[in-house]
Structure 1
Amino acid sequence: MCFCEIPVPGLLSLCMQDTPWCSPLKVKHGYASCRNPHGGYYKNALGTKCDIRCQKGYELHGPQELICQSDKRWSGKVVCKQKRCPILSMPPNGGFKCIDGAYFNSRCEYYCSPGYQLKGDRIVQCMDNKVWSGRPASCVDTEPPRIQCPSIKEKTAEPNKLTARVFWETPEGRDTADGILTDVILKGLPPGSHFSEGDHKIQYTVFDRAGNKGTCKFLIKVKVRRCGKLNAPDNGYIKCSGDGDNYGATCEFSCIGGYDMQGSPARVCQFNSGWSGTEPTCTPMNINVGVRTAAALLDQFYEKRRLLIISTPTAANYFYRLQLGMLQPAQCGLDLRHITVIELVGVYPSLLGRIGLRLMPPALALQVRLLLRIPHYNFNIVVVDKHGVDKERYPFPATPAELFTLIDTFPLRKEDIKLQAESGQSCP
């Protein structure tokens, strides 16, 4: 300490510079590095200069250097304030918790609401440069929505049907995040549709607002009760409804002209997968030439056979022999068109009637000539259809081509052609 009782010029000034002059300098959360210009002991003497520094995590507010002035005051005021990082923004569908707010060295941990996942750094820390470490996190919906489809649907087709109508409740999706779905897509037929026999895959897909999708699948199994396919009898046809062997289907049988049916003309596929009735067969027509009238004879061919009646006054007739010669190689075409040839040869009482190998009594042959008004003394050909209608007459021999062209125009013949094509019947 300097005691200056006697004022001496120059000595007083020196004494002031080495004497405590300003209040002691204290910096909270910081420190001052002071130097007396005269090297004195006191760091708050007149003219002392102090450099101000703050602790880590604090920043200086005020001048970096203070000087002890003649008015016994420091040249300024300083404060070390704790550093702060920018306020974190709250992530949508989530939040964060911090140890010490946004101050230096504070740690903040992000979290997300149920159904959302954290994207970015879960923990960030306020650094000395007043920025947060890492990337601020966000909460995103990455979990697909949930959807539950029904179990396998099995259905049996009803009688006479090859499809089954199937219903189910449309499944509802549920989003694990916000519960909002933006789209539902169905792949396959909708409920209430008619499904054919077999397995059908149905798929539902739902999307949430984040674009995540959830999918579920199930099968629809449609069964058709079947009895097994039936075949057409030899020399006959078969025509079935539906698919031919499904439950409720009916198969109808018919025989080609000149054959009679034995057994069930129609059979139905039953619930037990068995056919009703008995198996049909087609047997050759048993033509009865012992009938008393021509009408009774011709009735046997009604809706079964067409007739080609050849009448000649004598077996030596040239036209007669020529006609038989032309028909002999055309037997397949005659059979295909269900044509039976009846020959009336001679004049009563020496009249001879013949159907194939069966001989007719002269009186019955005469009745046929009289019924159809066929002349006795001339060569004639009469074509009769399956309904007993006299369709055409020829006074001269007719070629098979002429006869077949005529007969192929008959209404019933068109149905025959269709059935024969389906069964593969044809002539070489």
Structure 2
Amino acid sequence: QPGQCFQTLPNMLNWIQLVVLVPFSSYLSFPGSGYYSYRDDEDRYDHRYKGTPWCAPIKVKHGDVSCRTPRGEHYGNVMGTRCKIRCKQGYEAQSSEVVCMASKHWSLNYACREIRCPKLNMPANGGYKCSDGSYFNSRCEFFCSPGFSLKGQKTATCQHTKVWSAGDPTCVDIDPPKITCPTLKDKWAEPGKLTARVTWDTPEGVDTADGILTDVILKGRPSKSDFPEGLHKMAYTVFDRAGNKGSCRFTVRVRVRRCSPLFPPDNGYVKCDSDKDNYGATCQFTCTGGYELQGSAARVCQHGLTWSGSDTTCSPMNINVGVRTAAALLDQFYEKRRLLIISAPTAANHNYRFQMTNLQQAQCGLDLRHVTVIELVGTYPAQIGRIRHRLLSPALALQLRLLLQIPQRSFQMVLVDKQGMDKQRYPFPVTAAELFTTIDTFPLRKDEMVLQQEAGQTCQS
């Protein structure tokens, strides 16, 4: 009916207006679910339900919100609405969930605040510089004052867990202090003395850190001391407060005016007074048994640093092999040399050959023990005797065998001491070591060993 159309038209216009007023986004939600979400720039507030208690729309900067209302999406922010707050990386929510209260206020503060780590501790004797204070992703670099070194990580970054990526480092003093020693001190001994007085200034240390040092410690004789002849190594040491050590070294050399050193002659000894070769020292020479002294028996170190007299030598005793009797031959060795008489029926005798080979390798030990070897080889009248390269007549060789009761047709060895006594007989060859062990038990040999040790005369045999 025409009249009905005009009555219905206002109602249709109200319905069209209602459709236009409903946001397009509401058509994208699920009807009756009660879920809806806001983004950072959304400001949604429906004034159509004025009688219903509503909270202010949630606006979250640096985050987003997801809400659930008990009365459906068309009743957003009504009492009982619960909203979850999620913040962007580097930020944290003051409250992870808020509820719309009857007071028309949200239950808690919901802003997203920038994550912040605890304030870093300032290292003693150092500091740090940060790119953005203590906030998230701020990078701090540590440094130390001059003289100190960083112990620990050089940088630290504020992480999303509000914890720094590295612990607090420390600045430690690891640089040793510096100290400079005096230069080399070189002095001659005072006249008539074997020492010299040496003086220098005590050095001072320098620390690169806090400048606090311990007392300077000297290792060696102090300044103004009398130093004996030779090279003396000295050292100064200083410590800083951290225990680092600084040190330096120098030497003190004292010289004594001396003659060139005198050495004992071969087969002889020298004994000097004073300091052996300094000005005024006197040296006495003696020869071992079987050797005769040639040259000066005593020499003195003179003012010109030269020795008085002439060079001293010990020459082998002149053995006379032309004597007519064996007794006359043996008398030449009395109190001078020991004799080792080796007898064999032929030069091809295996005991003789073994014994001579063994003794030839031990000639040094024989000379050290003043032993002269006499060889008696063969049978009369073809027998011969020999003292090194000097030959004895067959008659003299026979007399030696008869005098010492040595058989001609078998090997035998006789050891005679410096007093002409028959000390040991050997029917078979012996090693040089066995022979020397026997000789070293003789009383006179013990005194000889003391003199030889003082003179530095030694032998490997």
Query: If the length of structure 1 is used for normalisation, what is the TM-score?
Result: 0.50
Query: If the length of structure 2 is used for normalisation, what is the TM-score?
Result: 0.46
